Structure 1
């Protein structure tokens, strides 16, 4: 997890990131129609409700899979309660090797690895449940676990041939050896294409030679296997040479691999984070992942594939802090009344519960969608990571507030969780950048289709013209029949969601027509588009999950119904507000933001005089 780096937003960095995310639609081949997708989140940018992947709720574990999961859950809970020591790990800034060894014996380090490679053979939904349990006990241990299997050796699972899998996976799946993901460098964080590490072929063509430095690498101090990304000179079709990123699997045993001392961090102190150095490391040619020059694609696929692990951990943390809060407010007496009786306490607690329910709904929607074989889930994964990491932070912060002074004391562990949580809004894609990623990727998709529609009308496509005129007269349709897929208890909420998608699509079209390719510079609007897209996806997951509960006769359905209705009302208000600001803009606010920030940066600090000095 942390291995993908601390992604710092910098004023001069976001422009090139945005420019790469959205290319000018005019560069597309004129004769080729833009691709269709089954992604729910991608389609809402066109005002379409593509429901196939989100209704019915896709969670579908067999009886054998449930039995296997139950066999893992209890030993894992027992280990995390009786063997692992969160406070000690935090205090010593380490995790004892014997503890990691025992955790490995439970199968925790090879959850998704097939049994033929000594893994547990779980699917993503089962893995999510395991990550959720770890997140409720020790996020530092969760980072060690995630950095190892979710991204550390995930490239071998996704891209390795049979020989590579047989060579590496058995030791990695059992925890006999550990892996790290090496992408981030001192000069590159979110802008992964700007890495400066280099990789060249040996004269005999049988090896690569790697040189460079990586920072913020989780597990780096004790890992034996590394997935490393570096720039390689690639010959182009025209005979020129261009540097492109290539991915390779590196062993410490190859020589030339060293690491610095553990970093001193705000949180997740138990996890190991170091700087890695690669000095003329000789790597067999067969250790390449993917094709030469396709390392950026490999990195993004690895991160997307493992991104559901963070949301799963976040739901576990939220469940823990909610339970702690319930125990406290139902027993603590102030001014002659229990805390649970006060309106402000009820509001905070209900918000924790709503955020947890939405987060949990997103986690298993995403994991089960992946289990079903859906390939296009990058926007949903990004939405889930942003929503859950911010929800977990909010819940834990408010839990401390409701505990008063007790929440600030170490023994409650809430302050440890708060410090640990802060990094989850940064690594595996900083939330600020992921908002832009969601907005710009979706806008590019909508823009290509809008351009195609304009071409068809211009070339005399009377059917297309009639369809567009009808849409503008009638207000159009999302094409999704929510009433057929949503439980009857949520008719009103389904209508609200349908209207939000329609409004969202209309807003995107207006922004594209207004700014054209200049939209990549409109981060004030893009951030709000990203937030609206995240809320729409979250509301969809909530409605689908609650319908799933109703269908299966869940005893908690009446309680869930209340949660859904509250979330729907609040999410709809946020969506409407964000779309209004994005659509109508606020020239005065934007210009003042620009001027104030520019003035301070130009001055090298605050320019205003202190009142005492006047």
Structure 2
């Protein structure tokens, strides 16, 4: 799963080319210019957020809706899975030995965990995304290394076959993969290719008789790479263009180890998720039957993005599970540990840390099941929400585990407590399936592009459009949330409404100020993205709390307190990030650039030691 690096090319696909993003300017467009193509509207909450619009249909009411049959099916899998994770799988030994035994994986496979989303006709469990999220959450709470094996296998390893494979490919591969008779891996990352998927240097060419392809590739950091039988591999292939020229384009293939020419290196020595297998996989003159082309020739980048976007909710699910584990251990600690004559749960700093852990976990879980449920009901435009979910949950899980260790004191640092292993395991989740730095840029620029196109169209509408543009910059809150939230959440709803309004004005001002140059303003773009992440988390939290408060009984008031607390703290972060994005940052950005460039040009930090100068 270290190969799950969502490419910066995904960012470039949203903002690439000199004409890809045309931002509105204060000047009326020249009459001789052709009318711009009308921008597409979106039902995505986050995409509309960048226009300062609160379109709540994908958030309110909370879309989670499992019927009784699906709930029963889910429980039939969760009960034996929980027992297996507690009594059979030994997470400590897996970590110490840097391996999860194949016998353990085979037992896990018998529970249906490796074919959760595969339809029953292909021997899968036939679960939907919501059910799968719950399963991944349980696994993540026990063993993140096993979760990586599971995710690398089904969320990305054979997901391409499930999504875009032919019927023949599905019939051939899915039954063995869904049952764990065979394992899969996703092969994208190379020594020179991480976040930029379009820069792969692996090559594939078609044989002269057209019967097969010949693949040469060196893939690194491949989860399950040491034992996988089936690989989804991406390589550059010469594709003939309409004008008769040839251009290399990424193409996807289904490759079997049995084809020959497939070898792997020893397991990588990693900081965490040691129970998972990560290895170099080499493909040398591998002959791939033409029937094993995945998708169309030259469409591999789209295939990769489809796989990554569709499977991205798996990480948030595991992160929610890990947070719950850390919170449980923390409560056990603070309610039994005494210092200075009182149990440490009585101290304000401890209470604040625990409250923050609980509030963030609640928000993460709220986002997770909105995302999974929207996917289940056929929502197509969720790529920004999926990226936000990945960033937010992986960051929250890291800080939650770190605070859990802090509240355990010295014992938190000891191996026997188990939290140091969780912290090591968690670190990678901020890197793979899209490094969080890249994902923030993706969120920011994708939304800004969407808003920019609409602003351009509005500015092109003559004097009326110009007046509307000017007035729109100062429009107030919409009040969209007031009527859809629980009465006890109305203050938070008003705060959210204010955040959406301020967000929209800030984005518009940045577009007007920087125009296409905003692409290169990462200082501002990342802060806009941070604000968007918190706003979406606020909306998800209020929606979930509104729905669950109806049936939560005596715990309803507690949930309302948690939701209101999260929104109060998140709103402060939103305002601060937007203020930073709106400020005159040229001097600060220039200073940042100068310091970094000087150090890089020097080959090391050039600051002299005080002993040498005093």
Interval of TM-score (by shorter of Structure 1 and Structure 2): over 0.9
C-alpha separation between the residues in 1 aligned to 2:147 and 2:325? 15
Match of 2:21 among 25, 28, 32: 25
C-alpha separation between the residues in 2 aligned to 1:394 and 1:599? 32
Q: Per-residue CA shift, 1:265-302, capped at 9, x if unaligned?
A: 00000100000101111111121222211111110110
List runs of 5+ in structure 1 lacking aligned partners. Answer: none
Q: Per-residue CA shift, 1:545-584, capped at 9, x if unaligned?
A: 0011123344321001111111111111100010111012
SS across alignment from 1:231: strand
Equivalent position of 2:608 in the other structure: 609
Equivalent position of 2:576 in the other structure: 577
- Alignment pair present for 1:59 and 2:58: no
- Alignment pair present for 1:453 and 2:458: yes
C-alpha separation between the residues in 2 aligned to 1:122 and 1:18? 32
- Alignment pair present for 1:441 and 2:440: no
Q: Per-residue CA shift, 1:463-504, capped at 9, x if unaligned?
A: x4564455356x2554x6212211111111111111111111
SS across alignment from 2:114: coil
- Alignment pair present for 1:37 and 2:42: yes
**Taking structure 1 as reference, are residues 210 and 574 closer, same or farther at Cα in structure 2, changes over 3 Å only?**
same
**Taking structure 1 as reference, are residues 15 and 483 closer, same or farther at Cα in structure 2, changes over 3 Å only?**
closer
C-alpha separation between the residues in 2 aligned to 1:304 and 1:5? 11
C-alpha separation between the residues in 2 aligned to 1:596 and 1:567? 36
Per-residue deviation, 1:457: 2.1
SS across alignment from 1:536: helix
SS across alignment from 1:608: coil
Equivalent position of 1:314 in the other structure: 319
- Structure 1 length as normaliser, TM-score? 0.95
C-alpha separation between the residues in 2 aligned to 1:104 and 1:353? 33
Q: Per-residue CA shift, 1:425-484, capped at 9, x if unaligned?
A: 0000000000000000111111111111111226xxx4x4564455356x2554x62122
- Alignment pair present for 1:471 and 2:472: yes
C-alpha separation between the residues in 1 aligned to 2:71 and 2:163? 25
**Taking structure 1 as reference, are residues 236 and 30 closer, same or farther at Cα in structure 2, changes over 3 Å only?**
farther
Match of 1:117 among 115, 118, 122: 122
Equivalent position of 1:564 in the other structure: 563
- Structure 2 length as normaliser, TM-score? 0.95
C-alpha separation between the residues in 2 aligned to 1:560 and 1:411? 33
Equivalent position of 2:77 in the other structure: 72
How many residues are matched?
Answer: 604
C-alpha separation between the residues in 1 aligned to 2:204 and 2:262? 14
- Alignment pair present for 1:131 and 2:136: yes
C-alpha separation between the residues in 1 aligned to 2:17 and 2:488? 40
C-alpha separation between the residues in 2 aligned to 1:310 and 1:589? 35
Does the CA-based 8 Å contact 1:21-1:441 persist in structure 2? no
Does the CA-based 8 Å contact 2:14-2:449 persist in structure 1? no
Does the CA-based 8 Å contact 1:539-1:568 persist in structure 2? yes
- Alignment pair present for 1:379 and 2:376: no
Question: Within 5 Å, which residues of 2 pair with 1:141-540?
Answer: 141-457=146-462, 462=464, 464-465=465-466, 467-468=468-469, 470-472=471-473, 475-476=475-476, 478=478, 481-540=480-539
Does the CA-based 8 Å contact 1:21-1:437 persist in structure 2? no
Q: Per-residue CA shift, 1:406-440, capped at 9, x if unaligned?
A: 11111111000000000000000000000000000
C-alpha separation between the residues in 1 aligned to 2:363 and 2:133? 15
C-alpha separation between the residues in 1 aligned to 2:470 and 2:476? 9
**Taking structure 1 as reference, are residues 346 and 439 closer, same or farther at Cα in structure 2, changes over 3 Å only?**
same
Per-residue deviation, 1:25: 2.8
Structure 1 residue ranges (4+ consecutive) displaced by more than 6 angstroms after TM superposition = 13-18
C-alpha separation between the residues in 2 aligned to 1:19 and 1:447? 11
What do you get for the CA RMSD once the two structures are aligned? 1.9
Does the CA-based 8 Å contact 2:22-2:452 persist in structure 1? no
Does the CA-based 8 Å contact 2:6-2:305 persist in structure 1? no
Does the CA-based 8 Å contact 1:180-1:227 persist in structure 2? yes
**Taking structure 1 as reference, are residues 21 and 71 closer, same or farther at Cα in structure 2, changes over 3 Å only?**
farther
C-alpha separation between the residues in 1 aligned to 2:10 and 2:373? 33
C-alpha separation between the residues in 1 aligned to 2:396 and 2:559? 18
